[in-house]
Every structure is written in structure tokens, then in C-alpha cells.
Structure 1
């Protein structure tokens, strides 16, 4: 049981760290307009229509990589494939909260759950444990 809890917690930490790191790189590639605080949801909501497509795709890539890395960590520690789903659903929930706070385009709202499923399935296929 301890292994399961540690796996899920470590997977969540790895996922959040990965998302933050990839989004930070995205901000270097697509810097926000001068004077915009990217940690302020109101300011981001005001400029969402100005954000380049590449930056929006970068956010989805960050979430997918976060799920992939977090799921991998969770599986490796817990030795259970389903822990990758816990991590994936947690990242999906965080994405949903973000989308409620900051209006996102419809295509991003549709793509997010699809990317979540694809990232978890890929993680489990590549790194999942085999049933005896």
C-alpha cells in the first residue's frame, strides 16, 4: 500500500514539474507580451486571442509530457499500471481548472481529454508492468 501511495505522489510531483518545465520553455520560445504576468489568470484571459497557435500547442504538449513522465514514475514505483491513470486524470483535472479560470479555444478543450488518454495509453504500453 505504501508503494502505491508513494508511486502516485511521486508521479504527480513529476508530472507537475514536467508541465512547469515545458511551459517555461514555451514562454521562452513564445514570450508573452510586454507587461503581462503569466501567473495572473485575468491578464492571460485578456490576451488569449493574441497568443500564437504554437504557444497553445505547447501547452498541450506540456500536459501530455507531464502525464507521460508522471505516469512512468508512478508505474515504476508502484508496479501498477493503473497509477498512470490516476496521474493522467489529475493532470486532466488541473487542465480543466485552468480552462475554467482562463478561457481557452474550443479545440483545446476537446483535445485535452484526448491527449490525456493517448499519453496514458502510450505510457502503459511502453512502460507498464506485464501480468503474470
Structure 2
């Protein structure tokens, strides 16, 4: 297992997540202006831009860890995604801890945290082989 790739991938994941959230916040701020001043047929373009921006949080770190991996890029992507999801899950639990009043709300927040682990593990594992293929192609040049 390539620990260096996982640590750098985790740093990239947090950096890209912050950038992605800032871009999404900016897009939301100008959404009303865009809706008013652009023709109706261009509205799918803006929604596609929002979807692409939200995909940055998992596509770039997964690709990056795959690029740095020398073997088993999907495994490295899954491990990185699980670590990133676990850290996000802990953050969700920490933010919601003061508002948890009953067992049902605790279960909902715990399920949300576990879902983050599974979601990012699968998404990072899907993106990692593309980075690995690019690295192998560049090595063969």
C-alpha cells in the first residue's frame, strides 16, 4: 500500500472539497441573475456546470490517488474514499451532536455518516483507475 499516495490524496480531497464548495456557493449566489438574463435554452448548461462542480470533490482526489499508485489503484481509491468519508462522517456527527434529542435523530445522523463512507469509497475507487492509466501511459512515452 502506498501511504504517500493516500496522505497526499487526503490533502487533495480536502482542498478540492473546499474549492468545490466555494464554487457551488458562488454559483448559487449568481443563479438568480443567470436565470433572469440568459435565454431559456441555456439553462441546462448552467445546471450541468453545477453538477460538474459538485463532482470535483470525488473525481479529482480519486484520479490523483490513482495517478500516484504503482499497483492496485482501485484499492487505494477505496481506502482513500473510506478515510475521507469517515472524516466527513465524524464532522457531521460533531456538528449535529448538540441537536440530537432522541434515538431516532441519532440513528439518522449515524446512518448519514456511514453513508458518506460508502459513497466516497465507491466514487474514489471508480475514479482511481483513470489516473493510474494516465500515469502508465506517461511512463511508456
TM-score, normalisation: structure 1: 0.56
1:92 positional shift: 0.4
Distance 2:68 2:125 in 1: 18
Alignment-derived partner of residue 85 in structure 1? 78
Distance 1:30 1:19 in 2: 16
Count residues in correspondence.
99
Alignment-derived partner of residue 70 in structure 1? 61
Q: Per the alignment, do residues 6 and 114 of structure 1 end up closer, same or farther by CA in structure 2, a change over 3 Å counting?
A: closer
CA shift digits 1:51-88 (9 cap, x unpaired) = xxxxxxx8xx75x6333322221121122312212210
Alignment-derived partner of residue 127 in structure 2? 123
Which is richer in helix? Answer: 2
- Residue of structure 2 aligned with 1:6, choices 4, 7, 17: 4
Alignment-derived partner of residue 14 in structure 2? 16
Question: Superposed, which structure 2 residues align to 1:31-50 within 5 Å?
Answer: none
* Structure 2 segments unaligned to the other structure (5+ residues): 30-49, 100-104, 137-141
TM-score, normalisation: structure 2: 0.53
Distance 1:124 1:78 in 2: 9
The structure having more radius of gyration, on CA atoms, is 2
1:21 positional shift: 0.4
Q: Per the alignment, do residues 112 and 75 of structure 1 end up closer, same or farther by CA in structure 2, a change over 3 Å counting?
A: same
CA shift digits 1:10-65 (9 cap, x unpaired) = 2111111110101112332446xxxxxxxxxxxxxxxxxxxxxxxxxx8xx75x63
